[in-house]
Amino acid sequence: MSIYKKAFLINFAIFSLLILVQYWLVPYFILDKFIVLEKNEAVSDVKRISNIIDESLGGLYVSLSDNSMWDDTYQFMRDRNEGYVESNYYDKAFPKLKIDLLMFVDETGEVVLASGIDEQTGKKVPLPNSAVSFFKSAEISGAMDSAENGIRGISSVDSKPTMYAAHRILTSLEKGPSRGYSVYGRVIDSGFIKGLVEGKCSAVSLFDISGGDTCPTVLTASDAAGIAEDLRCVLASPDGFHIKTISEDTLEIFVCLKDFQSRPTILMRADFARNIYKHGKYTAWYFSIIIMILLTVAGVINFRLLNSLVLSRLKKLEALVVEVGSGSSYEARLAIEGDDEIANLSREVNSMLDSIDRSRKELGGEIERHKKTLVELSKLTEAVDQSSSTVIITDSRGFIEYVNPAFTRVSGYELHEAIGRKTSIVKSGKHAPQFYENLWSTVKSGKVWAGEFCNRSKRGELYWELASITPIVDPSGKITNFISVAEDITGRKAMEAELVAAKDRADEANVAKSRFIANMSHEIRTPLHGVIGFAELLLQSDLLPDQLEMVDLLKKSAHILMSILNDILDISKIEAGKIVLEKIEFDLHQLLMDVYFVSNVKAREKGLLIDCSFGTGGAFKVIGDPVRLRQVLLNLVNNAIKFTERGKIDLRATKLSADRSGVEFRFEVEDRGIGISEDKLGEIFSPFVQADTTTTRMFGGTGLGLSISNNLVKLMGGGKISVVSEPERGSRFYFTLKFPAGSGS
């Protein structure tokens, strides 16, 4: 391996390692910051929800305290005047007071009034016994005896999460004696929870934990799986919050709501969509890509500097040494630059070459004299001994009498080793006995035998020869000798085998190429969808007119690139044999109308008219692949629109025949566009080929549409697409397809 390749591989390995390290580390550190931000935002939102509940509970307590220290209420508790209840606590008063229940208890512990509101009818109903028992319990009554004026808290009342407040009944001057206490309660129902769910919070659930942390009761959620463990985490948390990551999409935060004695009675769970986390992932990914690009650029710059300062100079030194070693030139010298180790080495090499050149000139005269002598000798011997072909002379029985040096070179047998032995010494065993029998019968009959055969050298190596064996006869016509002149064709045989192998490899590479293009098209489509999506989002934002125009151009360019990718994917699927056609029933007339309506928008933009005609008139159902047929027709119509500046375009489907095997249609697309010259008609169906290079510059396109369409028609059993065209007069593309008839056709 050359030092250039080694240096490249070392640089590649180092920068690849750096890229891999940052690929794993950078997202980790960045994403960690987003996770912390996400949790802080979620905790802030939960605090907002808790504050709303506290404010609602405070408002409930203020409303109750105003009513409890009202002289009318004080008088009611003394004389039990029903008019007080009817005028102050009628049905519609409950929503105005934002309460769902109320209760009055006198100083003896007797319940004077206990009413609630029915959620369905909106009418007053007696308060359930469980609620009466709760608000008349020793805890509540005892707290009222010891409290200065009142209490408030949140508990599960009648299996419902309820905010409640209790207050001693006094005069408006806060004088006694106390006439008992009154209670207001408000149920935390779905309507109240809906008001809590805003901002980043997506859902709020409540669980009754008055029974401890072992068996929470579901109040507003669908299940309570794992809630007991979450409750224990909340109770153990110093800040009163427990954050739980459910998935990459959901984050849950738990917090306890407390009763009037500050005991946890309700566990609240708030669900949050992890949008910040997702933005963090995208940010980390983009940042990682930027660093990878920077590292790649740094690696390229580093390698180019290394190549410029070291490797290129070493390659010049290597080239000089090779040139001198081959003897082609002794005049070349290295250009010395700098004062480093390579420059010093170059000076030493130049000095060595100067010494060699002086010695070579001194020996030049002697070498010339020897050359003249060798030339004279070679003239006498070359005619007999020197030949690029092997020469063997045998007697009539096949015993060797003479071999030339070429035979020795190829077979490995020296002259003295071959003389007196049969030609079978180079027999390889690769040919059948009949082969040699045919050879000897031919030459012994006085004919020349010519052909190829495989021999084995003294070294055990196989080699091929193209030989001509001629019998030598004396004046009487008797065969006295055989002479074989053979050319070594081992290299040609190897080349033939290599060509066959290369063709096989090329076929495999072509299939691999198609698979690669298909895979890469899919890989590119994913980020391209992202580009289109972000372009659409930008178009909906507040941008300046110039910016909107640029974003719109970006979106159109992305759609054009997506169309090109789809064409490449189709042509690669066709080449790889991966296209699978559907066989479903569809309405051929409706398909033509779909093509007409889709294409007519673009045609009208250019001021063109599309004339669509269907030979059968109305609906006609057949069995085939509507998607691929629509793709072929759209390609042909879109090409017609692209290359036509005025006039109209005809889209026709004509029924040709019908029998038991199916119905045959001819499809035609005719335009009045620029047309195609006759010498280009045979090329337009090849991939990446258009009729003229100016066509690409003027109208764009990749040259894949007709190739894809032609192959799809072949796959659908239609032979191929034909075309009749005349420059500046227009073109007519047509093909026939036979479909099995559908129901009702």
Most confidently modeled range among 218-232, 464-478, 488-502: 464-478
Size of the chain, expressed as the number of residues it contains: 745
- pLDDT for 458 beyond 50: yes
User: Is 69-188's fold the same as 192-273's?
Assistant: yes
- 8 A C-beta contact, residue 101 and residue 205: no
- Where are the chain's structural domains? 69-188, 192-273, 330-383, 390-488, 495-573, 579-739
Residues linked to residue 485 through DSSP beta bridges, in sequence order = 391, 468
Handedness of CA 398, 402, 408, 413 (dihedral sign): positive
The CATH-assigned architecture of domain 495-573 is Orthogonal Bundle (1.10)
Q: Who has greater pLDDT, 285 or 522? A: 285
The CATH number fitting domain 192-273, selected from 1.10.8, 3.30.450, 2.40.50, 1.20.120: 3.30.450
- 8 A C-beta contact, residue 145 and residue 176: no
Handedness of CA 721, 722, 727, 730 (dihedral sign): negative
Confidence of residue 352 (pLDDT cuts 50, 70, 90): confident
Cβ neighbors of 554 (< 8 A, separation 6 or more) are: 531, 535
Q: Who has greater pLDDT, 149 or 154? A: 154
The CATH number fitting domain 390-488, selected from 3.90.580.10, 3.30.450.20, 3.30.70.580, 3.40.50.300: 3.30.450.20
Average pLDDT, the chain: 81
Most confidently modeled range among 323-332, 375-384, 558-567, 714-723: 714-723
Provide the pLDDT for residue 214. 40
Amino acid occupying residue 609: L
Handedness of CA 524, 527, 530, 531 (dihedral sign): negative
- 8 A C-beta contact, residue 685 and residue 636: no
Provide the pLDDT for residue 379. 65
Cα(324)–Cα(577) distance, integer angstroms: 55
DSSP sequence for 402-448: EE-HHHHHHH---HHHHTTSBGGGGB-S-S-HHHHHHHHHHHHTT--
**Pick from 19-28, 77-86, 338-347, 579-588: least confident:** 19-28
- The CATH homologous superfamily for domain 69-188 is PAS domain (3.30.450.20)
- 8 A C-beta contact, residue 725 and residue 731: yes
In tens, the pLDDT along 628-656 reads 899 899 999 998 999 898 889 999 999 98
- pLDDT for 215 beyond 50: no
Q: What CATH number was assigned to the domain covering residues 579-739?
A: 3.30.565.10
- pLDDT for 380 beyond 60: no
Q: Which two tokens stand for residue 334?
A: 């290295």
Q: Where are the alpha helices (DSSP H) in 540-646?
A: 545-576, 588-605, 626-642
Place of tokens 């408000």: 186
Q: Which two tokens stand for residue 357?
A: 């050149």
Cis peptide leading into residue 177 (ω within 30°): yes
- 8 A C-beta contact, residue 259 and residue 151: no
Provide the pLDDT for residue 235. 82
Place of tokens 């209670």: 183
Average pLDDT score over residue span 563-574: 68
Provide the pLDDT for residue 687. 65
In tens, the pLDDT along 673-729 reads 888 887 777 678 776 555 454 554 444 455 677 888 888 888 888 678 889 988 888
Cβ neighbors of 481 (< 8 A, separation 6 or more) are: 393, 394, 395, 396, 401, 471, 472
Cα(393)–Cα(172) distance, integer angstroms: 145
Cα(274)–Cα(270) distance, integer angstroms: 13
- 8 A C-beta contact, residue 23 and residue 272: no
Provide the pLDDT for residue 524. 73
Place of tokens 């002479």: 483
